[in-house]
Structure 1
Amino acid sequence: MHRADRLSRGAWAIVGLLWFVATFNYLDRQLVVTMPGPIKGDLGIGNERFGLLSSVFLWIYGICSPIAGYVADRFGKRPVIIASLLIWSAATFVTGIVTSFEGMLAARAMLGVSEAFYMPAAVALIVEYHRGPTRSRATGLHLSGVYAGSALGGLGGAFAEMFGWRTGFLIMGAIGVAYALVLMIIFPRPQTFSDETRAEIASAKASPSAAFTTAFKSLLTTRGFQFLLAMNLLNGAAYWPVRNWLPEFFRSELGVSQAWAGIYGPMAFNGAAFVGMLIASNISDWWSGWNERARALVPAIGFMIAAPCLFAIGAVEYIPIILACVLVAGMSQGFLDANLMPAACTVTDFRHRATAYGLLNFVGTTAGGVMTYVGGMLKEQHVPFGTTFQAASLLIFVAGLCLFAVKPTRAAMSEPRARDPLQPERTGTSERGSASS
């Protein structure tokens, strides 16, 4: 078997194994927002405190993300991925046991801490082995698990009606712990870079404080990355409250049953994002063959199309039109997710990619947590969710403008090639392996 074939097999094997982890990641976090009625009734809380459950998760997830990315860059991505899955699955199981709002809040906080460590490590590992003609497809295929999990999470309302809201958390927590134990055995130990590149990385990491300062200074002073940060802040502020409040919007403002509200909201949005991700990843890989800005331009165009549709969700009352607009908005989010890390690769040093993704997560989820809480607070003051969605349409439009301003840097586009993750470790001066990833 040729080396290129071995590399292809190993690189895609990593994507396949991580697809299931991404699915569990978003299914676990999505369950809460699809069960507002039974959870609020059981814990005796209103919309504002229920919104706080999602907001606290997002705030802690966001705050921990830059640190998580740096830890993955410095200490290795494989152990971070496995530990994250194990801990957040345990937190999901605990969510099904707690009997108070404070206990639920603590469980969601733990979920935020542990899940923050997964995504920066996973996407950074994937782009090490997929570049050029497969980078967006590999990233998109992995993140399609995000939307598979989110879409399946949309069934949470129907599941709660049949079996009670706690059962879903107990089952998913147990499955996640079991899969983490399986990954400890079968997940490849990648052979990463050449000796020269490993020496460069080791030198950069010789002083922990210097490495930390260098990574963040390098990212925050890069103009293209600054535009990506601004874009993801606006995207998070717009789309997280849409995701989190769509079920309650359909239920309380349009009179849809709890079961169908989960299907019309998260399942429709995330299912469309899944399709959008597959479409956008292929377009980006094809277009980037002659336009290195394609990774940013594809989601920029998606946002421009989605902005008026997002406004229409809060402006019309005819459910089929609203569903069509939800589908368009969802597809635009998929356009971004397939290209966010590939776009970051065009403006960042390869040694700081997990840190970069952690910073992007930080601004997006923190802003999303604030706006999710604001949406619930406004609803308590009798401001409809439709008004929140209309405000989100403006944010998405500006986010698209930020993406149009992202221009790749030559230094970032030059990167070392990763070794075959399935190739046995060799001894010798030029073929020694490394388990750093």
Structure 2
Amino acid sequence: MANSKTSNSYYPWLVVGMLWIVAFLNYFDRILITSMRDPIVSDFHLSDAQFGLLTSAFLWSYGILSPLGGYFADKYGRKSVIVFSVSVWSAVTIWTGFVTSYNEMLVARIIMGISEACYIPAALALITDYHKGRTRSLATGLHISGLYAGLTLGGLGGYIAELWGWRYGFQVFGLFGIFYAVILLFLLRDTSKASDTQPEAIKTLERQVNLVDSFKVLFSESSFRILLFYFCALGIVNWLIYGWLPTFLKEHFHLGLGEAGFSATGYVQVGSFIGVICGGLLADRWSRSNSKGRLYIVIIGFTLGAPFLFLMASTSVFLIGIMAMLVYGISRGFNDANLMPILCQIVDSRYIATGYGFLNFLSTIIGGIMVYVGGMLKDAHVDLSIIYQVSAVLMLIATWSLFAIKIKKTSY
């Protein structure tokens, strides 16, 4: 058994480092398929609708199962759920590299969505178990940066497909994921096994957690309901950016397809990398003197960032648009570093992962719907600039609703 000194020194940061790699794989494996569109469509003779369904099926299964994944992490422990999740989605990634039909690939994407849904709530809960007040936001932010890296580098799938064929990428990264799951099995520990000086962590994991009771407790909290409204607005805006920003930049600023695609992910992601680090450091420092420090960092972030999203949709100067995307990305990073720590301050500690899972569920489902609604509005000749302007106003209103949240816990 590790001693207290070991648990309180390097190991909590080792947990962040180990899970950073998993976070990278989480987004890289899921996004790989989008950058390999042409050879996959050619191999299986797919229509655009059929190819789009591969992503939609993933999102639906991922969103619907997220609350259940969080519940499993609360009930059975974070490590078990994390290792199970990585193992299954990596096996499915390998399977994707060997599929022989479109229907088989569709089933693989659904199973991948189910397995990946278990990871994020469990991982963030484990990180906040290890990282208390002084390091919680920074640790969360560093982990989230792994998701950004996976999303950004997922575009390499196109180059992999050109050099070795589209199946090769799935097979190689799937095998790496299986190997890494074995490493996690031996190195990763729940806090209940990290030290015999943490009786509260042990008690938390040993309590009986019931799914129905979890939802009753969570939804009885007015602050959690406010967070749900905020997260819905955030999901709408983020998925409109994921789904339609390349098209907007191409049409609005008259960019080429490649430049528009790179700009849509590159500038926002760079800003987000900066935001999770700076937002994490600032929030950890502010929270030492003010229990609402983390909450205020998120509010300040989008109070500044939402108007810049509006500016991006309004300007005709691409350089100003780049600056606006960077600032909005920073504000999103402020949010991502602090959302889970804020949740830890307002809900019962037994239901942290379940609560985050439900937030993930609502954001993904509503966001996925909004990608479709954005297409409908565009078909109805509603300019994307108007859609982004309205989204910016909605984001600002939702952000200011966070002032009504009541913080219950001031130290950890």
TM-score (norm 2): 0.88
What is the CA–CA distance in structure 2 between the aligned matches of 1:244 and 1:99, rounded to whole Å? 28
Deviation, structure 1 residue 378:
4.1
Q: Which moved more, 1:169-178 or 1:37-46?
A: 37-46
Indicate the residue corresponding to 1:139 in structure 2: 140
Per-residue Cα deviation, 1:316-372 (whole angstroms, up to 9, x for no partner): 444333222222222221111100110001101111111111111111111111112
Q: Does 1:89 align with 2:64?
A: no
Distance 1:176 1:226, change over 3 A: same
Q: Which residue of 2 aligns with 1:44?
A: 46
1:123 alignment partner in structure 2: 124
CA distance in 1, matches of 2:80, 2:261: 34
Distance 2:56 2:237 in 1: 14
* Distance (Å, rounded) in 2 between the aligned partners of 1:53 and 1:130: 37
Change (3 A) 1:162 1:179: same
Q: Distance in 2 between matches of 1:81 and 1:271?
A: 27
Q: Percent identity?
A: 41
In structure 2, relative to structure 1, the CA distance for the partners of 1:320 and 1:404 (3 Å cut) is same
Counterparts of residues 166-245 of structure 1 (less than 5 Å): 166-188=167-189, 190=191, 191=193, 197=200, 201=204, 204-205=207-208, 211-245=210-244
Give the CA deviation at 1:257: 4.8
| Alignment match, 2:360 | 361
- C-alpha distance in 2 between matches for 1:340 and 1:122: 14
Residues 256 and 41 of structure 1, relative CA distance in 2, 3 Å threshold: farther
Matched position secondary structure for 1:314: helix
Task: Decide which moves more: 116-125 or 161-170.
Answer: 161-170
Alpha-carbon separation, structure 2, partners of 1:36 and 1:384: 27
Counterparts in 2 of 1:287 and 1:413: CA distance versus 1, 3 Å: closer
Q: Distance in 2 between matches of 1:395 and 1:103?
A: 40
Task: Report how far residue 39 of structure 1 moved.
Answer: 5.0
| C-alpha distance in 2 between matches for 1:38 and 1:378 | 30
Kindly indicate whether the alpha-carbon contact (under 8 Å) linking 2:250 and 2:256 is maintained by their aligned counterparts in 1: yes
Q: Is the 8 A contact 2:252 2:316 kept in 1?
A: no
What does residue 106 of structure 1 align with?
A: 107
Question: SS of the counterpart of 1:132?
Answer: coil
Q: 1:202 to 1:322 in 2, by over 3 A?
A: closer
In structure 1, C-alpha distance between the alignment counterparts of 2:176 and 2:205, rounded to whole Å: 37
Kept in 1: contact 2:90–2:174 (CA 8 A)? yes
Given the superposition, is the C-alpha separation of residues 306 and 314 from structure 1 closer, same or farther in structure 2, using an over 3 Å criterion? same
CA distance in 1, matches of 2:143, 2:180: 17
Q: 1:198 to 1:340 in 2, by over 3 A?
A: closer
Cα distance change on mapping 1:55 and 1:368 into 2, 3 Å:
farther
Residues 288 and 294 in structure 1, CA contact (< 8 A), matched pair in contact too: yes
Could you say if the C-alpha distance between residues 97 and 172 of structure 1 is closer, same or farther in structure 2, counting changes exceeding 3 Å? same
Distance of 1:379 and 1:124 partners within structure 2: 39
Which whole-Å CA distance do the structure 2 matches of 1:263 and 1:174 have between them? Answer: 28
Q: Which residue of 2 aligns with 1:57?
A: 58
Could you say what secondary structure the match of 2:47 adopts? coil
Moved more, 370-379 or 302-311: 370-379
Deviations 1:3-27 (A, max 9, x none): 4454221211111111100111111
Q: CA deviation at 1:65?
A: 1.0
- Greater relative contact order (CA < 8 Å, ≥ 6 in sequence): 1
- Structure 2 CA distance for aligned equivalents of residues 101 and 254 of structure 1: 36
SS in 2 for 1:133: coil
Stretch of structure 1 that moved more, 143-152 or 304-313: 304-313
Question: Match for 2:346: what amino acid?
Answer: V
Tell me, in whole angstroms, the C-alpha distance in 2 between the residues paired with 1:289 and 1:146: 28
What letter corresponds to residue 15 of structure 1 in structure 2?
V
- Shift in CA distance, 265/99, structure 1 to aligned 2, threshold 3 Å: farther
Structure 1 residues 94-120: Cα deviation after superposition (integer angstroms, max 9, x where no partner): 334446554443332222111110011
Stretch moving more, 273-282 or 8-17: 8-17
Matched, 1:307 2:309: no
The CA deviation at 1:380 is 5.1
8 Å CA contact retained: 1:156, 1:168: yes
CA distance in 2, matches of 1:301, 1:156: 36
Task: Give the number of aligned pairs.
Answer: 408
- Structure 1 unaligned spans of 5+: 416-437
Displacement of 1:40: 5.3
Q: Which residue of 1 aligns with 2:296?
A: 297
Q: d(CA) in 2 for partners of 1:99 and 1:175?
A: 22
SS in 1 for 2:135: helix
Q: Name the counterpart of 1:418.
A: none
Q: Distance in 2 between matches of 1:156 and 1:324?
A: 28
2:272 corresponding residue in structure 1: 273
Deviations 1:241-281 (A, max 9, x none): 31233344445765645544442122332232111100100
CA contact (8 A) 2:272 2:329 kept: yes
Aligned to 2:10, the other structure's residue is in SS state helix
2-side partners of 1:101 and 1:67: how far apart?
A: 28
Whether the aligned pair in 1 keeps the contact of 2:144 and 2:336 (CA below 8 Å) is: yes
Give the letter for the 2:321 counterpart: I
CA RMSD of aligned residues (A): 2.9
Give the TM-score, by structure 1 length: 0.83
